[in-house]
Structure 1
Amino acid sequence: MPGEEEEAVADARRWQLPEAEIVALKAALWQPLGAGFAGVWPDNRKAVDAFLFAASQWRTATTMVERRMTTLWIGLDYAGIRVALDARGIALDADLMTGIQIMEQAARNALNRSTAT
């Protein structure tokens, strides 16, 4: 995007990057993302994939809000996550679980329209 490119280039110049690196930065900013790019940093891909594999494992409840029945998203069923990941040959370690739980918290808050942590 032009605005983002201008800001990135201005920052590069502010930090006195060599012109060759600024040219490379401009080229990278305008490089097509490719058909497979989904906006996920490579370091987070394994956790995002695991979260999506376990997306059917939500625990929910129904409740009344302002005289309307609504769904309350409680959280993921961790035993169900293990089954979903085992079926795909993915080992669930502490780092992967942490990534899943970070996404779970954000998704739960969004689904419940809440900003609570």
Structure 2
Amino acid sequence: MTDTKQDLPPEANGNEKWHDTTHAVWMRSSLSKPDFEAVVEVAEFDDGFRAVRDGKSPEKGILFFTPAEWEAFVLGARDGEFDIPEEYLSEEEAAIQRGEGEVEAAWVPSPLNSPEALAEWERRQQAGA
């Protein structure tokens, strides 16, 4: 994060959660498909904050989460708190939501990542290997 207020874009002023996402490494689920209405992408920062955006329409904005907020969200998601009613899902989507089938989800880099972000992702992959 930048400490100098004049360097920040207008949406960052007064927003203690805001982080510069210029070269953030955005990840999306391998289950995301181009024909989905929205594609959720997540970026993680060194201080544990997370950013979330729609990978199909990133210009719509970014939500920022503190580490505690992110943990609460993940726990709620695991408990089904945010499940979509099945009548709004395709059979495939409903089966995935129920945890059925042999579908394994993984985090993959967003195709919208900057070259710098992709280089950072590759560096992280090598460091973790």
The reply to whether TM is greater than 0.5 is: no
Structure 1 or 2, whichever has the larger Rg, is 1
User: Higher RCO, 1 or 2 (CA under 8 Å, sep at least 6)?
Assistant: 2
Q: Answer 1 or 2: which has greater helix percent.
A: 1
Question: TM-score scaled by structure 2?
Answer: 0.23
